[in-house]
Structure 1
Amino acid sequence: MAEQERAPGGGEGPGAAEGSGPGAGSGTAGGAERRPSWRLLGPGIVVAATGVGAGDLVATLLAGSKFGYTLMWAAVVGCLVKIALAEAVGRWHLATGRTLFDGWRTLGPWTTYYFAVYVVVWGFVYGAAAMSSSALPLQALWPDGPGLKFWGITTGLLGLAFVWFNRYAVVEKIMMVFVGVMFVVVVYVAIRATPHLGDAFAGLLPVLPDGSLVYTLGLVGGVGGTITMAAYGYWINAKGWTDSGWMRMMRFDNRVAYATTGIFVVAMLIVGAELLHAGRISLAEGDKGLLDLTDVLEDRYGGFTAKLFLVGFFAASYSSLVGVWHGVSLMFADFVDRTRAGGDAGVEVVARGQQERSLAFRGYLLWLTVPPMALLWLDQPFGLVIAYGVLGAFFMPFLAVTLLWLLNTSRTPPEWRNGLLSNGMLGASAVLFLVLCVQQVRDLPW
């Protein structure tokens, strides 16, 4: 492989030798090198669309409304951080032929306990937050309709049925549609806002205005950063990418996906800077801030643009719901498989499609959908978003630290271990996410 393909992993080609340490794959790294191709894009789009939900869009919007274009650089850095994390996840799966949870098991039993508790508690809270977030734009589109609880339950059940009866290939196609809708709507609104390009480019210079630290950290670490980043490796396996011959394609897929995410984030910053910061308009925190923006858009550009934005709001929310319903259920099914195997280091990656029909996969689907419906009766959608954000903050430091551990040891074939760039990005990510986690806990209304 050409020299530039080493970064950030430091590998030289697809003919990688097998690892020799604990957890090294038994049939891993060989395979003819596949050239990057636009027509093969998919898993990166799925993980990016899943990670960027309505809460991320409103966080970016609020940053733009408070500081204009000043934090544009933080959005760009955030995309680079996500590229490094997703690349590391994908590189582990392709270089070793092992799943991420299989790698975690080699680090000790503490990872099993941490993941087991986390995935159960997080799934319960996220299920309610995702249904509530998806219901808000529908209720706004049909204000005389049946109400928030009805829409929330309906979106949850539709997501359950869709993932239950379809496999990854269909999930990927519908996620492409969601991304297309999100892209068109958000970019259209940003263009309507008539951005000042000079100010936007000036925002690429790193500056920290007074009171901007929390917003900066949120832009760098929060947008698009959830447990679904760990699901990326499961999605590339479901796509049929199972050895290091797919490494260049995976990296291309990852970079295109997060470049698209970067456009979403920049577009929302433009909207916040031009429509809200310049007009000194304040928004509510949480997903309801997007409903406030809808009112601003209606006053400025008319009902069509406002309703179009609500469609984009729904696409952002519901793509996250469908992605989590599929991706995290795959992770849970693998967790059950590996736990049942009792630490057998020779367990191979489960055949494509098999886990999507397993009892564990469907059981977690039900866990994400049915019990969280009870939380909708609390009538606290903003509280659910806060709880989800805090729980999410506890996973990203775990992911960054364990990737550093796995990809710098004999668990990974030497030619695919971390290089200087990858170690630097993952190390910075670990510190960043730890700070964000502490900040989230400190900001709780104790």
Structure 2
Amino acid sequence: MAGAETVRSEEAGGSAPLRKPGWRSIGPGIVVAATGVGAGDLVATLIAGSKFGYTLLWAAVVGCLVKIALAEAAGRWHLATGRTLFDGWRSLGAWTTVYFVGYVVVWGFVYGAAAMSSSALPLSALFPDVMDLKWWAVLCGLTGLVFVWFNRYAVFEKVMTVLVGVMFVVTVYLAVRVTPHLGSAVAGLAPVLPEGSLVYTLGLIGGVGGTITLAAYGYWVNAKGWNDISWIRVMRLDNRVAYLTTGIFVVAMLFVGAELLHSSGVALAKGDKGLLDLGEVLETRYGTATAKLFLVGFFATSFTSLIGVWHGVSLMFADFVARFREQRGGGAAAAVVEREKSLPFRAYLLWLTFPPISLLFLDQPFGLVIVYGVIGAFFMPFLALTLVWLLNSERTPRQWRNGVLSNAVLVAAGLLFVVLCVQQVRELPW
């Protein structure tokens, strides 16, 4: 564990020594970044690379900077105020509670099925004769349930770190294997918008690593044992390293899209199945071993998102229930680290697992998907703009409120997510 500085920092208000950040402390950021980067994000990056080559590389970099700012703001709120994010939302009015409940109920139902299916796709491709895709999906959901149910944060973090290591090795290997043109890549850092690229650019900036799990970052920070402002420097290093890792994933996939798909004119299907298309291209070009290694990385990417949501959003739901009971006179809310085995935590775990299994056996659940798309599209602007509100108010100690740069990035992110939200709603099959 990182030690404390001997000299008290003026930045900390003289109330506590700031702990020295160290590599052994890295953890919650890796968890939030790995959870936020799903198979669909990688497909979107590949498609952008296949259509525009390296031209939109700058957008991927900007997207990682935006996520660093959002996660840092969420973690700073938890550490500077000693309050959870849901507690902050509740202080903004009852409308935030109504929104949160509606969101996690509908979103959790549909996301559970999507996460199980995404994790099942590479397993079905690796072992095509073992069982049907639907049963692979059920197995993935039940495995995630059992793992999160019986393990606390420390074990969860270690497993996530191992899976991130697998993702890292596979994506970097693929990027090196396709032999990227570094000169073109460097040129791609210049902000340029080719004709027809606006939607893809906004998607790269706003989509990769951007989900409700960004809001869960502060909860994982507390579960790690970081509970006051003395951990602020540790948290910031953790967050930056995590999204640097995410940036490498994204850049590597853009390289693959630019070199392997752009030059040959190969088009991928949208959604998670696009990665199966890439697997076939890799097998044709580089052989079966490379294709299977890619499928292993595909599984690691999908399964980290599954267990990350199973754990992180369940923590948030448990906090919501605790604050609701506290408001109704049910006593003080428990610490975050005490909620991993609570009844609300486990109830939401069950909600994420068993009701969504029914969707796996329906061919076209269009009505629910439309509702999910509309509600889900509104979460990221909600997160960005409420963080601006909370971190500029008296709810936050003055020395830890947003500066000009933080406000600029968060407001810009909020507006970006509003545009993405409108775009997503417009694309829904009404």
TM range, smaller chain: over 0.9
Q: Is the 8 A contact 2:219 2:315 kept in 1?
A: yes
Per-residue deviation, 1:12: 5.3
1:355 counterpart (317, 321, 339): 339
Structure 2 match to 1:169: 154
1:365 counterpart (344, 349, 357): 349
Structure 2 match to 1:327: 312
1:310 and 2:295 equivalent?
yes
- CA RMSD of superposed structures (Å): 1.8
Per-residue deviation, 1:176: 0.1
Per-residue deviation, 1:140: 0.5
Per-residue deviation, 1:404: 0.4
The residue type paired with residue 335 of structure 2 is: A
Task: List runs of 5+ in structure 1 lacking aligned partners.
Answer: 1-10, 17-29
Structure 1 match to 2:259: 274
Structure 1 match to 2:386: 402
Structure 2 match to 1:300: 285
Task: Provide the C-alpha distance between the structure 2 equivalents of 1:353 and 1:101, rounded to a whole number of angstroms.
Answer: 15
Per-residue deviation, 1:144: 1.3
Structure 2 match to 1:445: 429
Structure 2 match to 1:419: 403
Work out which structure has the larger RCO, using CA pairs closer than 8 Å and 6 or more positions apart in sequence. 1
Per-residue deviation, 1:403: 0.2
Task: Provide the C-alpha distance between the structure 1 equivalents of 2:187 and 2:367, rounded to a whole number of angstroms.
Answer: 36
Q: Is the 8 A contact 1:15 1:31 kept in 2?
A: yes
2:174 counterpart (170, 177, 189): 189
Structure 1 match to 2:247: 262
Change (3 A) 1:206 1:277: same
Structure 1 match to 2:3: none
Task: Provide the C-alpha distance between the structure 1 equivalents of 2:165 and 2:243, rounded to a whole number of angstroms.
Answer: 14
1:137-188 alpha-carbon deviations (Å, 9 max, x no partner): 0010011121111100000000000000000000000000110000000110
2:276 counterpart (291, 309, 315): 291
Q: Is the 8 A contact 1:240 1:352 kept in 2?
A: no
Task: Provide the C-alpha distance between the structure 1 equivalents of 2:420 and 2:370, rounded to a whole number of angstroms.
Answer: 13
Structure 1 match to 2:16: 31
1:234 and 2:219 equivalent?
yes
Change (3 A) 1:397 1:88: same
Structure 1 match to 2:58: 73
Change (3 A) 1:117 1:388: closer
1:431 counterpart (404, 415, 420): 415
1:14 counterpart (12, 15, 23): 12
Per-residue deviation, 1:388: 5.8
Give the alignment of 1:143-222 within 5 angstroms. 143-222=128-207
Task: Provide the C-alpha distance between the structure 2 equivalents of 1:246 and 1:391, rounded to a whole number of angstroms.
Answer: 34
Structure 2 match to 1:251: 236
Structure 1 match to 2:43: 58
Give the alignment of 1:116-131 within 5 angstroms. 116-131=101-116
Task: Provide the C-alpha distance between the structure 1 equivalents of 2:174 and 2:424, rounded to a whole number of angstroms.
Answer: 30
Task: Provide the C-alpha distance between the structure 1 equivalents of 2:328 and 2:92, rounded to a whole number of angstroms.
Answer: 11
Q: Is the 8 A contact 1:15 1:245 kept in 2?
A: no
The residue type paired with residue 143 of structure 1 is: P
Q: Is the 8 A contact 2:219 2:336 kept in 1?
A: no
The residue type paired with residue 425 of structure 1 is: V
Corresponding residue pairs, total: 421
Structure 2 match to 1:223: 208
Give 3-state SS (helix, strand or coil) of 1:231's partner.
helix
1:92 and 2:77 equivalent?
yes
The residue type paired with residue 198 of structure 1 is: G
Per-residue deviation, 1:382: 11
The residue type paired with residue 99 of structure 1 is: T
Task: Provide the C-alpha distance between the structure 1 equivalents of 2:129 and 2:135, rounded to a whole number of angstroms.
Answer: 12
Change (3 A) 1:71 1:381: farther
Structure 1 match to 2:5: none
The residue type paired with residue 221 of structure 1 is: G
Q: Is the 8 A contact 2:373 2:428 kept in 1?
A: no
Deviates more, 1:385-394 or 1:176-185: 385-394
Q: Is the 8 A contact 2:106 2:372 kept in 1?
A: no
Percent identity reads 75
Per-residue deviation, 1:221: 0.2
